[in-house]
Each structure stands twice: as C-alpha cells, then as structure tokens.
Chains A and B, each alone.
Chain A
C-alpha cells in the first residue's frame, strides 16, 4: 500500500512539475481581445508574488517546406520583459538530437532562447520531422574514432541559426590569439581570447576554450564542419484572405532555431514557437494579446488553495477582460483521472490488505487458542486475568510492530531500487520494447518518490500504514486473549 500510494503521489508530483513547466503556474486569458495588455503586464510584474508574465499570441499557421506541409499551433512569446514564464531552454535541450558521422563528433551546443528573433522559430519534433527540417549543426572532424568531445581543447559555445554550411579551421597561434579560417567562405580572422571565448561575430560559430593554454602548442588545428539550419515558409490565415482578394503577399520565410521537447503531453504536439512580433505580423492583428503565462513565487505556488485565492484576487478587478486560470483548474480532468487511478489502486489494495489482515488475525487467534492451557496455567499460578490477556495482546502488538517495520523497510528498498526492480520485471515480461514503453509512459527513471525523511506527506503515509498493521495485529491478539483469559481456569487446563 505504501509503495502504491507513494508511486501514485510521485506520478502526480511529476505531472504537476511537467504541467507547470509547460503552462506556468497560471494563465491570464484575454476574454475581450483587450489591447491594454502591456499595462496589465506592468501591473502584474509590480507584484512581488509574480516572478514572470509572458504575453503570447497563438493560432494555427500553415508551414511549408518543399512539398511537405504542417499546420502547427503557433505561439508567439513576448521576450521584451525579462525571463519568460516557461523554461524554453530546458525544452530545447531535451529536444536536441545528435548527428552521427564517420570520423566526426556532433559538437552542436544546445540552442537557447536567445536564438529567437523575428526570423527564427522553434518547432516541436513532430512538425520538424513532418517538414523534414532541422536546426543548424556542427561536427568536429577528427579522423580518430576513439576520440570523444570531452577530449577537445575548444568547444563550440554557440551556433546561431544563420551560421552557413562551411568547414572551419581553428588554429592556435599563441596564448592570446587564434586564427579562424573557412576556405569555402573565403573567411579568415585572427581572434583574441575574451573571457575564455573566441567570437568572430555574426554568421560564425562561437568557441569556448576548455584546455589550459600551457597544454596547447603552436600549430594545433581544430577542424569543424557546420551545417546551416533549414528554412521554411509560413502562411497565415490573413495571407490566405489577402490572396483571395487577389493581393499577393509572399509567405514569411523563417529559420529553424531549435527543436522543442515539452514533457507535458497536453502541450500541443504540433507546435511552433516564435517571437510575439512575428506571430503578430503573420496574423496582421496589431496590438492584441491572447493571454499571458504567469509564474509565481514559491510561497503562492506551493499551495493550491493559495494559488486559487491569488488568481481570484487578480481576476476580481479585471474580470470583464481577463480570466486567471490556475494550472490545476485548466488540467482538472487529468488530475481527476490520476486521482481516480489512485483511488482505484487503493480500492484494489484495500481488500488485499483486509484479506492479509484477516489472515494475520486468524494466525494470531490460532496461536492464542493453542495457548489456552498455558493461559489457564498462568491464571492457576496466580496470574491476574487482565495481565494474562495483556501478554497475548502484547504478542500481537510486537508481531504487528515487527511486520510494520519490515513492511516499511521493504517499501524503502522498493523506492530506493525502483528502477532496477522495474527494469528487471518489465524486461522479463515485455522485453526491451516493453522497457522503452514503460520509460515513455511511466518514467520511473525520473520519478520523484520522496523518502519519509524528505517529505512530511511521505512520513505520514509510512506512519498511517505502519499504525494500521500494528492495530490489526494487536486487535487480532486482543480478542482471543480476552476470551481465553475469561475462560474457566479449570476448563482451560483441561483443554487439549
């Protein structure tokens, strides 16, 4: 029971984190297409409880690459007011895939939100695969198959979406200077080391020195091959409308800055993230906003009631134009489902627990009934009936205590070695494919199941079920002991 409930709580915790990452702690949803959203954003950011408010525009767009089409749900994020409410850098890092090549290592750095501008978009992997596009990549050409990217003296720090496809040679000149050349681009520039970085400006990769200069020698050359990011064309419903009116507006051409992998499945699988201005331009609707992703301080966010109250407080004076919806209200269906699953598991486990408790009770009763003659003997020797009954009650108590301790220990071991245990079971039942499925849908490998000393909730869970085990055993011992101690002593002694 402890393991089942702890794991269900672990799932809830994980999904909660994933949803908050994908949608923020709450969304301010525009009800009237208000144009005064910048004022609202400023008002919100003045509140100490609100850490971030990222306005967005959204709606479907048509993306085309050659003969491939996709209609992703486009989200335009306003990045002009500090940190975004959603951890896009994390999504980009998760979405990055590596190229494999002969005698080369993919050393492409993880894209980041600063790649985003009005001509760059991030795509979900579904859209990127459908269109056959990918972000820029860079390989280190070494000719030594045993070499790993950890062996490099220089690493690629940044590969902007506009870096062209080219071969780059980076040569060590002295402690302060390196030479970056590209024959194909007829590019050659002597670079001075600044803060451990080698930056030749826009359109070139930025390198970072990771090796001490004393370990380098003049003439050391590092060769890289960059691949430019793909482009795609975007049509908006507004462009289509113009085309119907015989006004020809060319589609917007954008580059792929990175691939997004959002952990929450409720996030649009076909998504495209661009700047607020880009989506605004494509939709040809000026100065409006569909909503804002909000991120709150932990004091508000950690308690669902506080969060709901705070959202209500925000909404009250603005209820004509804005609705403030906490993450758990927006995803209530999912959490209801998860709760239902938890209750179902408990519903299955409770009869099992009761049967186990009944079996323990019967075993204890039998052991007490077998001791009736001894009980009679103890009373005959001058034992007080209550004390004699208490002995057998204590027996039940200690059996329960031992069982509870053993059960808690087993639960702790299961939680500690959950990955190995699940892998062992799943691989034997469903093979490696099953293992992949379990990892995908029930990610035990990243599931947070707290130990009792790490969380009050977990401690309460262990305590409750431990107490249940002790109570069942004690009561199971108490009833027959009480009956036996009330028996006629002579009859008890005659008992065979």
Chain B
C-alpha cells in the first residue's frame, strides 16, 4: 500500500510499499512516532480512506485501495472489522447498551441474541451495571470498555485499535489493554494495535514499527 499527502505543494509520503499479513486469532502491534501515519494505515486497512495504490485482503475478499469503498465492502466492513478509537467516539445521546448494539443496528442484525451478547460483553468489560447510563456520566476507562464491547458486538474477525489507552492513566490503560487482548483472544478476533507503549506492544504476537512510511519488524 502507498499513501501520500500534499501540504501546500509539499508531498509527504506516509505509507511506502507497506505490506504485512495478519493471521486469524493473532495480535500485531504497530508503533511509531506521532504523525508517522499509524492512524492512516488503520484507516486504509478499514477502507475508510483511499490509498494511492495497493490492495487489502479481508479474508478471501481482495480489494483495491485506490478507490472509495463499495456498498458491498461497506457492509462487509460492518461484520469483518471492529474498531476501537483513542477518543472512544461514543454517541453522547445514546446510552451504553444502545451504543454497544449500534453496529448491529446499522448492519440490520439487531435482535434479542445481540442484546444478550451486548450484556455479556459489558459484563466481561466490567461495566454491566452501567447499561442505561449515557457516556457523559462514565469515566474515561469505562467509556473505552464500552467502546471495546461495541467493537466486538458483530463478532468481527479483526479488531483495529488506534491508541486505545492514549487518553487513559497508566493503571486504567493497563486494565483496558488487558481486557482488549483477552477479549479479542476469547472472541477469536485478530488484533491490530497501534500504540506508543512498548510494553503493550510486547504483549502482542508480532511487533512492527512504522518509520518514514516504511514498516519494519521489531
């Protein structure tokens, strides 16, 4: 994959011929300096941003990355991928349970079993008692736990986590990271973790480092 940005006539190549594979039920971490293109790489993997060239394979589905995602790819994304963001991105008007089941609602799969699963995930994340609270009433750690539950609700094959502990204190960050690693393992989802923290990165099966647009194995 390749991706360039143009800033006032200056071209910045943030992804240069990056290629890697992620095997089922494994984890992978990507580290790198701020602004090196880690989030852009995750966006390219999730097909929410267009690359200048390259391909991505979601299981057996091969997709060109230099064009906008098709309807089919968008619906596939809903079931194939779960994303955890640094800033949680919970919908403030919806309560915890509604936020968790939102991906299922969007993909038209909302039913009683999904709600049961949402309760199960929230219990697993340790926020079972907060189902009817709105995100504004939760702490940062609790919000991120809810965001992880939301990312897992559609039983995705791959979980993309973009600095999930970036807004949390050290202790809470460790708890959340532990939950993220354990739950992805339990759910059988592969994990792509973007982080600055070397110890969190070491907890994954494979560690990569992005520098000057190139991906290096650590």
Contact = CB atoms under 8 A, between A and B. Distances in A.
Which of A376, A382, A490: most chain B Cβ within 10 A?
A382
A493 B89 contact: yes
B63 interface: no
A381 B43 contact: no
B103 interface: yes
A350 interface: no
A379 B71 CA distance: 11
Contact of B91 (A377, A380, A382): A377
Nearest to B71: A384
Interface in B84-137: 85, 89, 91, 102-103, 106-107
A377 B107 contact: no
Given A373-B89, A377-B91, A383 B106 contact: yes
A338 interface: no
Contacts of A171: none
Nearest to B78: A382
B85 A382 contact: no
Contact of A382 (B40, B43, B103): B103
B66 interface: no
Interface string B64-87: 000000010011011100010100
A381 B49 contact: no
Contacts of B78: 381-382
Contacts of B146: none
Contacts of B107: 381-382
A175 interface: no
B48 A489 contact: yes
Dominant SS at the A interface? Answer: helix
A374 interface: yes
Interface string A358-387: 000000000000000110111111111000
B4 to A, nearest CB: 15
B3 to A, nearest CB: 11
Contacts of A493: 43, 48, 85, 89
A420 interface: no
Dominant SS at the B interface? Answer: helix
Nearest to A492: B48
A81 interface: no
B65 to A, nearest CB: 13
Contacts of A489: 43, 48-49
Contacts of A455: none
A488 interface: yes
Contacts of A490: 40, 43, 48-49
A384 to B, nearest CB: 6
B46 A380 contact: yes
B192 to A, nearest CB: 15
B167 to A, nearest CB: 14
A377 B89 contact: yes
Contacts of A379: 48, 74
B2 to A, nearest CB: 16
Interface in A265-304: none
Given A489-B48, A490-B48, A493-B48, A381 B106 contact: yes
Given A379-B48, A489-B49, A374 B74 contact: no
Nearest to A383: B106
Interface in A380-404: 380-384
Given A488-B49, A490-B43, A490-B49, A380 B71 contact: no
Contacts of B43: 489-490, 493
B83 A380 contact: yes
Contacts of A376: 48
Nearest to A489: B48
Interface string A309-349: 00000000000000000000000000000000000000000
A374 to B, nearest CB: 6
B140 to A, nearest CB: 17
B193 to A, nearest CB: 18
A381 B102 contact: yes
A377 to B, nearest CB: 5
A373 to B, nearest CB: 7
A493 B89 CA distance: 9
A380 B43 CA distance: 9
A125 B201 CA distance: 103
A493 B39 CA distance: 11
Contact of B106 (A373, A382, A488): A382
A384 B74 contact: yes
Interface in A447-496: 488-490, 493
Nearest to A376: B48
A379 B48 CA distance: 8
Interface in B7-56: 40, 43, 46, 48-49
Nearest to A377: B89
A338 to B, nearest CB: 50
A373 B87 CA distance: 11
Nearest to B107: A382
Contacts of B74: 379, 382-384
A489 B75 CA distance: 15
Contacts of A374: 89, 91
Contacts of A373: 89
Contacts of A381: 77-78, 83, 102-103, 106-107
A257 to B, nearest CB: 77
Nearest 5 A/B pairs, CB to CB: A382-B78, A490-B49, A489-B48, A490-B43, A381-B103
Interface of B: 40, 43, 46, 48-49, 71, 74-75, 77-79, 83, 85, 89, 91, 102-103, 106-107
Interface of A: 373-374, 376-384, 488-490, 493
25 contacts: A374-B89, A377-B89, A377-B91, A379-B74, A380-B46, A380-B48, A380-B77, A381-B77, A381-B83, A381-B102, A381-B103, A381-B107, A382-B77, A382-B78, A382-B103, A382-B106, A382-B107, A383-B74, A383-B106, A488-B49, A489-B48, A489-B49, A490-B43, A490-B49, A493-B43
Given A381-B78, A489-B43, 18 more contacts: A373-B89, A377-B89, A378-B106, A379-B48, A379-B74, A380-B46, A381-B102, A381-B103, A382-B74, A382-B75, A382-B79, A383-B74, A383-B106, A490-B43, A490-B48, A490-B49, A493-B43, A493-B48
